[in-house]
Every structure is written in structure tokens, then in C-alpha cells.
Amino acid sequence: MALSRHCHRLRATMPRAAAYSLDLSQYELLKIRREGLASQWRRPRAPRWDILMSFMEHFSEIWLFKGMSPEHSGKLASIASEETVARGGVVFSEGDEGNGFYAVISGQVRVYKLSVDGKEQTLHVFGPGEIFGEVPVFAGGQFPAHAAALKKSRILFFPRQPFIDLIHEDPSLALNMLAVLSQRLRQFTTLVESLSLKAVPSRLAAYLLYLAEHSKDPENVSLDISKVQLASLLGTIPETLSRVLGKMGRQGLIQSTGSRTIRLLDGTGLEELARGERK
């Protein structure tokens, strides 16, 4: 009965389901579970060793947790919980209580803002090894944006207060978290500058150069998100993005070699375009 009343209250305060393609029952159950972990968390008396070892293996792929001792990794694993979110599933909505943060094990999670008229602006797409929703960990408060899975994703959830308790035991966690927050601030500063001061071709050129910098093959980059999502990330619409890609191809800057693979033909030209020195 108590669970039913809680679900009813959640439905009354949530945004319209149609706006987020939301499976209410799945979202409510995940939210109730997270709230329980955050507010009623107790260290397990005898955590299953196989689960802890599985979590600790994932930690080695998460930059935030690199350099941790096995002892602290074990303690961190004991507070984490794993969730599987279906494609399109909501992880959290803007305004939800920031009672913890997340790390992506597999899949992709998109963080975005939604205007009153339903227009979306993608802020970032997170993949394996990256954390998100970390801002309220220190400041408290609510999540400032929405997060949803772009594809079926496995994520880890870390309740806020137990994580803060661990920081007191291992200060390196706080230093790593500050580094992550600083990197995120730089990303958002670049995003604001691009959206407000640069034209779409410059934004796209900068994004392709960013992919090349983080790719094993800098001359051939793969778009790990759809063109619709890329258009949202760049602050434009798919039709405009397609025209810009076509123009850059005719200029000899790039060549599309597949549905999501782009060959960079002229790195210097792309750098000039990204700086706004050419059209």
C-alpha cells in the first residue's frame, strides 16, 4: 500500500510521459530503489564476493576511481548498485533529488535540457568509463538536467552520503572528483561558446577534430551517435547538419565512407573552419 501511494505521488509530480517516451512503471521502480539506497543505506553485513569483484573490475575502467587501493575499491563496491536501462529509458529527470551519481559500464547515456516548448539541447553523451550526475554530490540539491539511455545501458549508481563518507577515508577520491568537475566545466564553457559565437560548420569541424583527437585512427572517425542526436548536440536540426556535411565534402575537407564513418581529408582546413577563419 505504501509503495502504491509513493508511485501515485511520483506520477502527480512528474513531467508528461509523452515528452520523454517514458515507461512510468520502470522509472518509478528505479527511482524508489535509488531513494531507498540513498536515504536508508546500510553497509551490507556480508556482501557477495562475486558481486564485489565484478564491480571492482569495472572500477579500473572508470577514470574517477583510478589509483584507489584494493581496500577502498572494496568499500566503494559495497555501496554501488547496478542497473540496466533500456534504450530510451529515463535515468533521472531535471528537478529530481540529486541523491547520488552514476557511472556507465556499457551503452550510452545522453544528458540534455528540455525547453517549455519541447525543444531538446543535448549537453553531453557519456559512454563506458564515464560518470554523470555528479554535480549534486557535493552541493546537494536537484539534478539540473535530464538523462536517458541512447541504447541499452548498464550503469552503476552510487548513493551520495555513503560516497561522501568514503571521501573522508580516501582523499584521492575528492581530488579525482575535482578533476572531473573541472573537465566538465571546460566542456560546458566550450559548448556555450560554440552555440553562442560559432556557426554550425565551425561547431561541426570542432566536433570532428575532437573525435579525431580521441580516436585510435585520427584520419577516420566514427560517429557513435545518430545524426539526429549529433544535430541536437551541435544546437541545430538534422536537415542543416546534412547540408553542412555535404558542403564540407564538396570542399574536400571530409569524405563520408559509411553511415557513421567520416574520413578527415584536410586537418588544417578543418582547424581553420573550427576557428571561424574560413566558411
Same domain assignment for residues 106 and 233? no
Same domain assignment for residues 202 and 78? no
**CATH value at residue 207:** 1.10.10.10
In this prediction, residue 132 carries a pLDDT of: 92
In this prediction, residue 40 carries a pLDDT of: 45
Same domain assignment for residues 33 and 169? yes
In this prediction, residue 196 carries a pLDDT of: 62
Same domain assignment for residues 218 and 145? no
Same domain assignment for residues 136 and 268? no
**pTM for the complete prediction?**
0.65
Domain that holds residue 223: 198-274
| Residue ranges of the chain whose pLDDT lies below 70 | 1-56, 60, 66-68, 184, 187-188, 190-197
Question: What does the pLDDT look like over 222-236, one tens digit per residue?
Answer: 888 888 888 988 888
In a domain? residue 279: no
In this prediction, residue 137 carries a pLDDT of: 77
Q: Which residues pair with 126 in a beta bridge?
A: 109
Domain finish residue from 187, 221, 254: 187
In this prediction, residue 51 carries a pLDDT of: 54
In a domain? residue 192: no
Same domain assignment for residues 117 and 163? yes
CB 132 within 8 A of CB 159: no
Q: What is the 3-state secondary structure (H, E, C) of the chain?
A: CHHHHHHHHHHHHCCCHHHHCCCHHHHHHHHHHHHHHHHCCCCCCCCCHHHHHHHHHHHCCCHHHCCCCHHHHHHHHHHCEEEEECCCCEEECCCCECCEEEEEEECCEEEEEECCCCCEEEEEEECCCCEECCCHHHHCCECCCEEEECCCEEEEEEEHHHHHHHHHHCHHHHHHHHHHHHHHHHHHHHHHHHHHHCCHHHHHHHHHHHHHHCCCCCCEEECCCCHHHHHHHCCCCHHHHHHHHHHHHHCCCEEECCCCEEEECCHHHHHHHHCCCCC
Cell of 27: 522509472
**CATH value at residue 37:** 2.60.120.10
In this prediction, residue 1 carries a pLDDT of: 41
Domain finish residue from 187, 207, 242: 187
Same domain assignment for residues 36 and 148? yes
Instruction: Give Dmax over CA atoms of the chain in angstroms.
Output: 65
In a domain? residue 193: no
Please count the structural domains in the chain.
2
Same domain assignment for residues 150 and 208? no
